[in-house]
Amino acid sequence: MTTPRIDTQGAPVIEELTEELREWQRALRAQFPIITAHPELAYLDSAATAQKPQAVLDTVHTYLTTTNANAGRGTYTWANRTTSLVEQARDRIRRFLNDPDPTRSAVHFTSGTTEGLRTIARDWLPGLLADGDEIVVPVADHEANIAPWLEAQRQLARQGVHIRVRPMPYQQASGDYDHTALTELAGPRTRFVAASHIHHVYGGNMNIHRIRRAVGPHAVICLDAAQSIGHLPVSVADLDVDFVVFSGHKAMALPGTGAVWARQSRGPEFTPGGWSGSPNTVGIASLATALDWLDTAGSDRIGQWTVALAARLTDGLRRLDAYEILGCQSSLAADASAQRRQGIVTFRHHAIDSGDLGFVLFSHGFMVRSDQHCQGSAGERTGSVRVSLHVYNTADEIDRLLAVLATLG
């Protein structure tokens, strides 16, 4: 097989990645005990949740065996240490996001992206909107980024405030947002736009700069970063968004962790209401360590690695007639001139049901997701198999997967 050369905007080809990057990946993979303990298995479901490196496991153990206490209550050392750990974790998130104005922004801990988006919809959005205002909702994205906004609309209607929900326009073939149609749709009453950074089914980078250009300088943009944190650099100094919401567990921290970052420059101040009770202290400790780990590893290099693996899988699948790859075809392959796909590849077999295909793949040791991926009602109507990659995955795993898929063709 000859691998076509690519220009600098194209996807890296795994053979062409430097020896340094391959050594770097080997050293990182070795830090995931659950991965190294099972060389016969391939974990290909990181978009659902990521595996945890030893450093995160160590933090959990050390915290629980040396410091465990509640935060913000107590006068003794463990409680004080825990309180400052939570505060330091807020700053860690700001640094991770390259926050240009950390004294102004807010960081609120949640159990994940879903709770983060719901908190914004419930506690903040009603204060932004007046009768006749419009919000844009990404109806073919993850349900977690749809349902909260529709609930906010109903909540406001009960108070006599009627807002209009405008479905985000999409390009049919690629699953990308249609920025031209969005420009036409957006007007002076468009106050709020919910968007995803990386699409959880198609893997596309949804081009947030173009959304800002389409909707103008005044609309609030709320970014669902569930699939981008830890997969590519997310810099709020570059992205003109107002909220970044993500799940810690997809970024290598414990389940039950996540955060909302709020810029606090458009609309009312973000101050989540109500008594939220004791924080998930050990989860927050794990999140701070996970972000340290990701920064040391380098989100840009993780992105290069996983994009290269995804391109390899796509190229292989395109040679197998029995499979249909979802999303834009031209920007998926390794020789594409512009590569905006991250490490997510979703496909269907023309004759085998996706659920059945998932079982067959697991019988060969491949852990993939096979269903409708919690996509909103404007998304795919039938199931598919999603392979989602992280830094611990290898080219060998992709080649083994392709070999099995080929036998089913």
Ligand X SMILES: Cc1ncc(COP(=O)(O)O)c(C=O)c1O
Residue 186 CB contacts under 8 Å (≥ 6 apart), including other chains:
136, 193, 214, 215, 216, 219
119 makes contact with ligand X (CB under 6 A)? no
First to last CA, the chain: 19
What are the tokens at 33?
């005990």
Q: Which is nearer to ligand X, 110 or 190 (CB)?
A: 110
In order of 114, 336, 341, the CA distances from 231 in angstroms are: 19, 20, 11
Q: Does residue 227 bind ligand X (CB under 6 A)? A: yes
Give 81-142 as a DSSP string: HHHHHHHHHHHHHHHHTT-S-TTT-EEEEESSHHHHHHHIIIIIHHHH--TT-EEEE-TTSB
166 or 197, CB closer to ligand X? 197
Minimum Å distance from CB 248 to ligand X? 8
Distance in angstroms (rounded) separating the CA atoms of residues 60 and 56: 6
User: Between residues 144 and 361, which has the closer beta carbon with respect to ligand X?
Assistant: 144
* Out of 50, 93, 120, 144, the residue judged to bind ligand X by CB under 6 A: 144
Q: Binding ligand X by CB under 6 A: which of 25, 190, 205, 247?
A: 247
Between residues 113 and 205, which has the closer beta carbon with respect to ligand X?
Answer: 113
Under a CB-based contact definition with an 8 Å cutoff, are residues 359 and 333 in contact?
no
Q: Taking the CA atoms of the chain, what radius of gyration do you get in angstroms?
A: 21
Nearer to ligand X, 247 or 331 (CB): 247
- From the CB of 159, what's the least distance to ligand X, in Å? 27
- Of 265, 205, 407, the closest CA to residue 323 belongs to 407
* Contact range with ligand X by CB under 6 A, out of 138-146, 159-167, 262-270, 298-306: 138-146
The verdict on 112 binding ligand X (CB under 6 A) reads yes
Which of positions 47-76 make contact with ligand X (CB under 6 A)?
A: 47-48
User: Does residue 376 belong to the site contacting ligand X (CB under 6 A)?
Assistant: no
Dihedral over alpha carbons 311, 312, 315, 318 (to 10 degrees): -100
How many chain residues touch ligand X (CB under 6 A)? Answer: 14
Please give the Cα distance from 166 to 181 (Å, whole number). Answer: 12
Q: Is 145 in the site for ligand X (CB under 6 A)?
A: yes
Q: How far is the CB of 19 from ligand X (least distance, A)?
A: 33
- Which of 146, 226, 297, 311 contacts ligand X by CB under 6 A? 226
Per CB under 6 A, the segment of 10-18, 141-149, 231-239, 332-340 that binds ligand X is 141-149
Q: Which residues bind ligand X (CB under 6 A)?
A: 47-48, 112-114, 142, 144-145, 196, 200, 224, 226-227, 247
